[in-house]
Chain A
Amino acid sequence: MLAELKDIYKSYETNSRLQGEDRQRSLVLDGLSLQIPVAGSIAIVGPSGSGKSTLLNILGTLDRPTSGAVILNGKNISDLAEDELPTIRNSFIGFVFQLHHLLPQLTLLENVLLPVLPQNNKLVMKQATERAIGLLERVGLKEHLTRHPYQLSVGECQRTALVRALINRPKLLLADEPTGSLDANNATLLGELMSSLGKEQESAVVVVTHASELAARMDETYRLTGGKLNRIP
């Protein structure tokens, strides 16, 4: 397995003093487990507030579970120190968010190369630049390398964000409602690209979405309700 979630619990402290009650804990993930095969693709669907993004954040090491184990590439990362996680995120995981979150001050190419910076290696950067140009060409943006995000459409920006997520050849691509802010055409295009590029790059893809079309492109689909995952056949 590329990645595995084992018995994950996640609860948040809520402040209910306004109602005259003491602090309470709200359980979001309730002993959830999930296995992600190498180069596989999984869609997670579920109602708003069901904990889909929380699940994705835990898997992407952006958040920690209250209990349970997160195993990436055979290694339990739940107990790793905070300063060990950035390297894992940088080399192993790629993120696509609902909003593209491209930096307006940078060109498309620079935005794509941003995840290469922490490696602080000129040669790697040079190779990554060539690869970035290739990937941007692959998503139809070669003509816009030196443009800034505010000069492009939302769909183009989101495709750039996808390239940014793939630039370091991550084994795991995580996407949180990637088509949530796109129109139908752009959503379809992004879904296709995500699916095909994931396969080309041999990256496993986990996507949280409300979009059934996007979910259908994935190998497996799970529904998150009541803090537990149920596979949809």
Chain B
Amino acid sequence: MNYWRLISRNLAYYRRPYLAVLAGVVVSTAVLTGALMVGDSVRYSLERMTDQRLGKTRVAVVPGERLFRQMLAADISRNAGVIAVPILKTNGIAVCEEKGTRINRVEIIGVSDPFKELWEERILIPGENEVVLSQNAAARLMVSVNDEVLIRITPVEKASPNAPFVPDRADPVALRLRVIAIAGDDNGGRFSLKSEQSAPLNFFVNLHQLSARLKLAGMANAILATGNNEGTLTPAELDSLTGQNWQMADAGLKISALDQPDTWDVTSGRIFLSPEQSRAIAAAIPNATQVLTYMVNSISDGVLSTPYSFVTAADSSMLHLQPGPREILINRWLAGDLDAVPGDMVNLTYWVMGPMRSLKEESARFFVKAIVPVDAVSSGRRLMPDFPGMSGAGNCRDWETGSPVDLSRIRKQDEDYWKDYRGTPKAFISLNTGQKLWANAFGNVTAFRFRAAGTELPKLSRAVMHQLHPLQNGLVFRPVYEEGRAAAGHPTDFGQLFLGLSFFILAAALLLTALLFSLHISGRISEAGVLAATGFSRSLIYRLLMGEALLVALAGTILGALSGIPCNALLLAGLNTLWSGAVQTSSLVACIRMPTLVTGALAGLITAILVMMLALRRKLRLPIALLVKGAHQPSRKTGLHRPRNIAAVALLALGTFAVVVTGANRKGENSETGRSSGTGGFLLWAESTLPVLKDLNSVEGKKSLSLEDEPVLKGVTFIPLQRLEGDDASCLNLNRVSDPPLLAVPATLFDSLGSFTFNALARDVDPAHPWRTLTQNDTPVVNGFADMTVITWGLQKQIGDTLRYTDERGNKVLVRLAGGLDNSLFQGNVLISDVRFRQLFPSVAGSRLMLVEGPAPKRDSIASRLEALLRDYGMLAVPAAEKLASFNAVENTYLTVFMMLGGLGMIIGTIGLGIILWRNTRERMAEFALLRALGHPKRRIMRRLVREYLHILMAGTGLGFGGALLVLLPNFFIPGYHFPFVWVSAILLLILGSGFAWIWAAAEKSMRREIVTDLREE
């Protein structure tokens, strides 16, 4: 005889009650492990998605505002020993006319043969007029192989439409293409450079066809590169290689010969040379002369006026006669036209471009210093920059300048001048003066002129490029794979989340374990008493019983941990289907990791042991004399007068209350409309595929989109929001995001309206006027706001932390999170002031996002009219409250999950209720035996017992449900609030049904006992 034999005998003899305890442990451990495994599975799925979306791509130049040669990729590839593939990426709208389907905001990716080397699996590269679609795009468009689709492509342009004299963006290019393949997730279908789990709507088209149709033949805007064989090549090394291999065309620069021998100019496809480029050229070609040529609206002397002329600002090296700061040289033609002589004063009027291509006419006065020949400067007509809408125009009436041209002002002599001299400047001012008047965010030089032998050009080009850094032209490799894996490796912690959501099941299973163990020990109390009487110390008895419990718990946790696998599969199935709104994907796959199984098992073991220790400690506290008698403390109290029953009612009530009140406390879509709400009081949230370039509040802007005569848009105000694309940091993205989109907001307007509410602010932010913080331009870091949930969960940061960005010129920019908004429709973005945004990213043209203000009763008609009128822009206008509700939908989905799992927990909890009632019944056996001995039929006693216990069940659930309804009452008055009636009813019915079944079982079991046994025990 030894302790092990005693324990093994006990386990074998009491196998049935211990099996029940084991079941409790299995459930609690399975829930724990299953929840932890969901965390693993989500992380694994995101990592898998990173592999799927990037294939062999490790680093990439992500698409920005700049273009470069497709051949640059080949140069890098050759020198770095990696596969580098150029792509041209834009977006657009896809239509299948046959099926009558349409999708906005699709990704259009121009690819060529090398692209397939980035994938392990075989993929098809589309030829001319062919397209390969991702699975989800094909499904949304309802097309299959050989179907025809029409795509409208957002143009990609060399020059930013924000630059002066660039014409309004060209109309979208339309391509009619035949579907040749549908790319699966492993065949590049998920290709995306964004760390997001939602599947992109990809349309792969032929790179050469796309670039040709966009008039960008040979150009690309992104490079994808693999790692080298050793896996040692860093993005910095690739940047360095880019620096060694890039050419002037990769920076948008061009050297052209002028009329005179050995005379050249350097111009930019972006019209203005950036300050960095100007500095580089000045340093590399010391004798180069800067030129700034600008178009003026009029040159007049007060009486006569010459419309639309070019004026060049240059220094003395080009102009043999240098004008002073307020002097101008005019050519003979102009002098004749104005009847001007030296000493006269002329007035120049010209456009200055503001935000959203808004134009402001300004003027400057000059004294005529001298009259010069029309050909005073050689190759004069080449002084006019290569304005996309003017250079090729046959006459002035064909100009597309991006600024209004009053055709009635153009006279015959103006047309003649254009025919004879094209854009030859009619006047010259000093470079300094010109740059003061016409410098803009894109630069203050339109050309450099220099003399050099033709043979020197390659050397000079290299010298210029050597002075420039690719980063300054947006040509920088990012470790996209590493970033993607890092983002996927630290996602929203679903393990923790599901542990929280499964709280009720866990609590119920642990309660059940404790009750079952306690019930079992109650039956062995006299055994403990006898052991104590024969010389076993309490601690020895405790250790022996806990030894049994430990072995049961150990078996339970092993089984439970293994049961966590199907449990995880079940939760993932829910997330992929019923609750996919919370995760924005249906591609989550299970991941089984041994450390997680062990962690789940250990956590299950510890919690099970703890609850059993507590249950046992209480039982063994009785005096030994009472233990020997197997003493239950008999109570004559029944029903709700019995403390244990009150506890059961209280637990039921609390559980029901918590499940219903939490699960049904959903946010209605229309519940928030005030200024301080998450909608900021705005009516609509409008998003388009193609950017709207102009301010739709202006007559000009409305005219440009034919909105001026729309009665429904009367009194409607548009607030355009420019955006720098990044990874969505809202709750819709499960990845940890490091570069969320930057959204330019009108901080002054928000301040004056008192829009939105803040959850937290940095100390230096004025709580009365938080938005003013964004308008401070004197700070070294840029102040930004984001939703507090985004800061905490999406970015995993705190107020005061900073985010790193790179501005358009390659400078590092730190954005400080100075405040956290309460839930707003800006979720997922970091907000900075529009003024600061335009300084940092002047090329970001127009806006794809607008807030719309207008009369609330006309909300739906405004939305539908906007969508109809801007259909070709892919406009989608939704009520702001609905947009906010789309974020709430994630929260609401979690609430549904909580309610379902909580309900399941409650149902398991009713087994506990059955046990409590069974214990009560056991303690009242003698009472029932006496009644039976006195002739009361068994059935009647049982009915009485069931009725009594049903009161407990009904009281508990009724109190809980009633309390929850009271708390939820205000929600019923909120328009749009949806009470999950079906779920709540189903859960309540299941709780009541399960409770009734267990009560019946407890009563039935008690009635099976022999009267004599019970009477004798009494």
A83: chain B residues at CB < 8 Å are 537, 539
Mark the stretch among B9-17, B217-225, B438-446, B674-682 that contacts chain A. B9-17
Closest B residue to A61 by beta carbon equals B624
Q: Mark B526-539, 1 if CB is under 8 A from A, else 0.
A: 11011111111111
Cβ distance A194 to chain B, nearest Cβ, rounded Å: 17
Closest B residue to A125 by beta carbon equals B1
Which among B527, B537, B539, B624 is the interface contact of A103 at CB below 8 angstroms? B527
* Chain B residues touching A, majority SS: helix
Closest B residue to A95 by beta carbon equals B533
Closest A residue to B533 by beta carbon equals A95
B10: chain A residues at CB < 8 Å are 105
B536: chain A residues at CB < 8 Å are 86, 90, 117-118
Q: Mark A105-136, 1 if CB is under 8 A from B, else 0.
A: 11001100111111000000100010000000
A62-B534 in contact (CB<8A): no
B526: chain A residues at CB < 8 Å are 101
Q: Which of B2, B526, B540, B624 has the most CB of A within 10 A?
A: B624
Whether a CB of chain A sits under 8 angstroms from the CB of B170 is no
Interface size on A, residues (CB 8 A): 33
Cβ distance B609 to chain A, nearest Cβ, rounded Å: 23
Q: Mark B595-638, 1 if CB is under 8 A from A, else 0.
A: 00000000000000000000000000001110010000000000
Q: Contact residue range for chain B?
A: 20 to 34
B6: chain A residues at CB < 8 Å are 106, 110, 114, 117
Q: A117-B3, A118-B540 are in contact. Are A57 and B535 (CB under 8 A)?
A: no
Cβ distance A162 to chain B, nearest Cβ, rounded Å: 13
Whether a CB of chain A sits under 8 angstroms from the CB of B5 is yes
B3: chain A residues at CB < 8 Å are 117
Cβ distance B887 to chain A, nearest Cβ, rounded Å: 58
B13: chain A residues at CB < 8 Å are 104-105
A115-B534 in contact (CB<8A): yes
Query: What separation, in Å, do the CA atoms of A181 and B625 have in the docked complex?
Result: 19
Q: A104-B13, A105-B14 are in contact. Are A60 and B533 (CB under 8 A)?
A: yes
Query: What separation, in Å, do the CA atoms of A196 and B624 have in the docked complex?
Result: 29
Closest B residue to A63 by beta carbon equals B625
Closest A residue to B535 by beta carbon equals A90
Query: What separation, in Å, do the CA atoms of A105 and B536 have in the docked complex?
Result: 18
Query: What separation, in Å, do the CA atoms of A90 and B530 have in the docked complex?
Result: 11
Within 8 A of A (CB), among B1-57: 1-3, 5-6, 9-10, 12-14
B530: chain A residues at CB < 8 Å are 95, 97, 101, 103
Closest A residue to B531 by beta carbon equals A114
Whether a CB of chain B sits under 8 angstroms from the CB of A169 is no
A91-B535 in contact (CB<8A): yes
B5: chain A residues at CB < 8 Å are 110
Query: What separation, in Å, do the CA atoms of A62 and B2 have in the docked complex?
Result: 25
Q: Number of contacts between A and B (CB, 8 Å)?
A: 81
Whether a CB of chain B sits under 8 angstroms from the CB of A217 is no
A105: chain B residues at CB < 8 Å are 9-10, 12-14
B623: chain A residues at CB < 8 Å are 62-63
A86-B14 in contact (CB<8A): no
Within 8 A of A (CB), among B516-569: 526-527, 529-540
A113-B535 in contact (CB<8A): no
Query: What separation, in Å, do the CA atoms of A97 and B530 have in the docked complex?
Result: 9
A95-B534 in contact (CB<8A): yes
Which among B2, B9, B535, B625 is the interface contact of A115 at CB below 8 angstroms? B535
A89-B625 in contact (CB<8A): no
B1-A86 in contact (CB<8A): no
A168: chain B residues at CB < 8 Å are 535
Closest B residue to A110 by beta carbon equals B1
B625-A86 in contact (CB<8A): no
Within 8 A of B (CB), among A51-95: 53-54, 57, 60, 62-63, 82-83, 86-87, 89-91, 95
Q: Which of A54, A91, A117, A118 has the most CB of B within 10 A?
A: A117
Within 8 A of B (CB), among A13-56: 53-54
A82: chain B residues at CB < 8 Å are 538
Whether a CB of chain B sits under 8 angstroms from the CB of A228 is no
Which among A53, A62, A103 is the interface contact of B532 at CB below 8 angstroms? A62
Closest B residue to A57 by beta carbon equals B625
Closest A residue to B526 by beta carbon equals A101
Query: What separation, in Å, do the CA atoms of A82 and B621 have in the docked complex?
Result: 12
A110: chain B residues at CB < 8 Å are 1, 5-6, 9
A62-B535 in contact (CB<8A): no
Query: What separation, in Å, do the CA atoms of A164 and B536 have in the docked complex?
Result: 14
Query: What separation, in Å, do the CA atoms of A89 and B5 have in the docked complex?
Result: 23
Cβ distance A201 to chain B, nearest Cβ, rounded Å: 16
B9-A106 in contact (CB<8A): yes
Which among A57, A89, A90, A117 is the interface contact of B1 at CB below 8 angstroms? A117
Within 8 A of B (CB), among A117-157: 117-118, 125, 129
Query: What separation, in Å, do the CA atoms of A117 and B1 have in the docked complex?
Result: 7
Cβ distance B140 to chain A, nearest Cβ, rounded Å: 67
Beyond contacts A95-B534, A109-B1, A168-B535: 15 other A-B pairs, Cβ-Cβ < 8 A, are A83-B537, A86-B537, A86-B540, A90-B536, A91-B535, A101-B526, A101-B529, A101-B628, A103-B527, A106-B6, A110-B5, A116-B1, A117-B3, A125-B2, A164-B534
14 pairs of residues in contact across A and B, judged by CB atoms under 8 Å = A57-B625, A83-B537, A86-B535, A95-B534, A101-B526, A105-B14, A110-B5, A110-B9, A114-B1, A114-B6, A116-B1, A117-B1, A125-B1, A164-B534
The 4 nearest A-B residue pairs measured at CB: A90-B535, A105-B13, A115-B534, A86-B537
